[in-house]
Structure 1
Amino acid sequence: MRNSRDAFHIAVPARDLDAAALFYNKMLGCPVARRYADRVTFDFFGDQLVCHYSPDDPVVESPTLYPRHFGVTFREREDFDALLRLVNLRKVPVFQEVRSRFGGTAEEHSTVVLVDPTGNLLEFKHYTDPRMMY
């Protein structure tokens, strides 16, 4: 089974690889692992994110969070707060401002949703009760 040395892998479309590299590397601080003419691979908070060049991918005029998004659920609140500071400092495009959901329940969590240059939505969150991460 998976352990901490393994990396989850996700691939998403990118209409412009330079814009994707700027967003993920320069704005979010994700190191570039590899870059080719048709894709760029990042260390996305310890997992592998591949942005595949997809210039003909349809533009979603009004994206919605469900059913398609990805991101990170932080175990520590400090890590979530550090991301929020980075987002504010670097003026990362925000799709949905930080908010709290399910207040007063075991599922209570803080969430913020970002949008990359292709329109992929990224949700970052932190649960008050770490047992609710999964």
Structure 2
Amino acid sequence: MRNTNKVFHLAIPCKELDETVEFYEKLGCKLARRYYDRVTFDFFGDQVVCHLSPENIDEQPKMYPRHFGITFLDKDEYDQTLEFATSQELPFFKKPMVRFEGKQEEHMTFFLIDPANNLLEFKYYHDIDMVY
């Protein structure tokens, strides 16, 4: 596992700052900084920076290969996040499902889509050895 002295950083495009802030704050992410051309969030302990670049929006996003998200080590946290996303009426790209059912790598997952069509996956593996 990683040490707590490291924070993963991801930069993604956004098409409009206000709707981006609204989406990520509804998801529970803390707005850390805002400039005229980007916003930075605490995304579940890591850093996500949304750069204003409407010309770089994927108009037909697909789950694979481009998405990012959280792999929960605790099923209750996965369930709480799913419940929270539903209660906040966040847009689902893919409703909750089970992947690789019956196999060691079986996991529960769902995808959200942000206002710039970036896909966010949230998942939980029943077998912790499958996380990496």
Question: Which TM bucket (shorter chain)?
Answer: over 0.9
Aligned letter for 2:17? Answer: L
Identity of aligned residues (%): 51
RMSD: 1.3
The 5 A counterparts of 1:1-80 are 2-25=2-25, 27-60=26-59, 62-80=60-78
For the residue of structure 1 that corresponds to 2:56, the secondary structure is coil
Q: Determine the C-alpha separation between the residues in 1 that align with 2:47 and 2:57.
A: 24
TM-score, with structure 1 as normaliser: 0.94
The 5 A counterparts of 1:84-95 are 84-95=82-93
Q: CA offset at residue 58 of structure 1? A: 4.1
Q: CA offset at residue 81 of structure 1? A: 0.3
The range that moved more, 47-56 or 2-11, is 2-11
Count of aligned pairs: 132
Q: Determine the C-alpha separation between the residues in 2 that align with 1:21 and 1:6.
A: 24
Q: Determine the C-alpha separation between the residues in 1 that align with 2:8 and 2:120.
A: 15
Aligned letter for 1:96? Answer: K
TM-score, with structure 2 as normaliser: 0.96
Unpaired runs of 5+ residues, structure 2, are none
Provide the residue aligned with 2:119 in structure 1.
121
Aligned letter for 1:69? Answer: H
Q: Determine the C-alpha separation between the residues in 1 that align with 2:65 and 2:102.
A: 25
- After superposition, the C-alpha distances for 1:74-111 in whole angstroms (9 at most, x for unaligned) are 00001100111111101000000000011111101000
Q: Determine the C-alpha separation between the residues in 2 that align with 1:97 and 1:110.
A: 11
Q: CA offset at residue 49 of structure 1? A: 0.3
Equivalent residues of 2:40, 2:49 under 8 A apart? yes
Unpaired runs of 5+ residues, structure 1, are none
Q: CA offset at residue 5 of structure 1? A: 2.5
For the residue of structure 2 that corresponds to 1:56, the secondary structure is helix
